[in-house]
A and B are shown apart, each in its own frame.
Chain A
Amino acid sequence: MDAAATETAAPGNGAPDYSGAGIDFERMGGPEMASAPQPVYKMLRDGAPILRMDNMVLLSKRADIDFTLRHPEIFSSNMDAVNIGNIRPMIPLQIDPPDHLKYRKILDPIFAPRQVAKLEEDVTALVQDLVSRFADRGECDFSAELAVPLPSQVFLTLLGLPLDDLATFIKMKDGIIRPEVFVGDDLEKAAAHRHETALQMYAYFERILDERERERRDDLLSQFLDAEIDGHKLSRNEILDVCFLFLIAGLDTVTSSLECFTAYLAQHPEHRQELVDDESLIPQAVEELLRWETPVTGIVRVALDETEIGGCTVHKGDMVAVMLGAANTDEAEYPDGDVVDFHRETNKHIAFGGGVHRCLGSHLARLELRVALREFHRRIPSYSIKDGVELEYTPNIRSIEHLPLVWESK
């Protein structure tokens, strides 16, 4: 038994308790945690804001989470924190400062608002095309027909890959993010499937990079081949490790956000009507829905040294899981945090994480989310979830694999 657990073993002696005595663990692992996690976050903040489970410490107060994310020198985002089948660290997420900054210097300008804004016209055309395919039908599966293809196609276009590769792409990212879909709940099989998929991803990008090596194009991969850090070109492995992260981080997160947002709007017609009546509210609505839904519920860091959070000893090698969704609904930050308000004056959510690893693609994600909400509601201002359908959310990254919507077609 470790020191922290020993110290907290005797109740009533005034020593703080980090074991979660008094909270309902079943709610944490159950479907509510995926479909409607906000009350579960509250249970955690009230009953176990710092919760130790074996070698993991789970945080659900904004202040503790900020502290963790703002100290990468103690709480590392390296490969020990998350292993999803990759054989080298994903760049830049799994690189700690100071090297981290070198990669962000190259990547930040590509994903800065000024650059991203240039994509608005293309993204708009893409959404219009996808929506036009089902707008007159009176129903759609929002997931399969918009939420999944939109970020994947934006990504393919950005990297300069053929649209024919869409299915391959989606299969690769699903093989990493949710291997259970392919091999069931056996953890060993899942790990093997992830590893196998990872190797396929490296091989896929190797092949394309070979092509670009022979002939540059006007795309990101070509740009990476010529990019320099302190006079050195990026190595082939470095480029592969960036691509790996893009595929894992850039597709599923936007898909999940679109699904969570649309499910919310389908079930809250008064909020939806606000957007239909006034499109200029959409940017704020995106921020508020990011706060409330927080599609990426939590992220993990690993302690590089023994330290302490709120009195709880954290040992070297411990995992520290920060619940971003709990931070975003913490009443210490938002007195009315359980109210969804598109006119909220103060919203400093960390749905994109915080600290140096703040989501590189956040500005692109925002663009896709804003354009999708705008164009979808222009064509389909009123809709609901198909009768009798019970939405199923996936845990951790809150995706809704089938989101059937119906509306009155003209």
Chain B
Amino acid sequence: VGVEVKVSVTRPPCTGHGRCYSLAPEVYGCDDEGYAVIENPEVPAGLEAQARLGAANCPEDAIVIEE
């Protein structure tokens, strides 16, 4: 079993800038109002870097990554 990475986002502080789902659409999705949604909080192996990229680019620091 590799390192498990969990990702979460809450609204607020997410205000729908959309940086995460633009940059890392395999980890972050977007609801009908433009806010970030995460369908799979347990980041699949191989997508950890994507998860971190989305978090690092969030202008509201709304994304929490647990490793």
Task: Name A residues whose Cβ lies closer than 8 Å to a Cβ of B.
Answer: 66, 70, 104-105, 108-109, 111-114, 283, 287, 345-350, 352, 354-356, 358, 362-363
Contacts and interface: CB of A to CB of B under 8 A. Distances in A.
Contacts of A348: 19, 56-59
B57 A347 contact: yes
A345 B15 CA distance: 21
Contacts of A347: 19, 57
B32 A114 contact: yes
B57 A346 contact: yes
B34 A112 contact: yes
25 contacts: A66-B61, A70-B60, A108-B33, A112-B16, A112-B31, A112-B34, A113-B18, A113-B21, A113-B34, A114-B30, A114-B34, A283-B22, A287-B19, A346-B57, A347-B19, A347-B57, A348-B19, A348-B56, A348-B58, A348-B59, A352-B17, A354-B15, A354-B60, A362-B17, A363-B34
Contacts of A352: 17
A402 to B, nearest CB: 33
A92 to B, nearest CB: 12
Contact of A113 (B30, B57, B59): B30
A20 B18 CA distance: 36
Given A349-B59, A358-B16, 5 more contacts: A66-B61, A112-B30, A283-B22, A348-B56, A354-B60
B47 interface: no
Interface residues of B, number: 22
Contacts of B46: none
A111 B15 contact: no
A287 B22 CA distance: 11
A346 B34 contact: no
A109 B17 contact: no
Interface in B9-67: 12-13, 15-19, 21-22, 30-35, 53, 56-61
B57 to A, nearest CB: 5
Given A354-B60, A356-B12, A105 B18 contact: no
A346 B35 CA distance: 20
Contacts of B57: 346-348
A356 B53 contact: no
A111 B16 CA distance: 11
Contact of A345 (B13, B31, B32, B56): B56
Q: Name which of A112, A114, A283, A287 has the most chain B CB atoms within 10 A of its CB.
A: A112
Contacts of A356: 12, 15
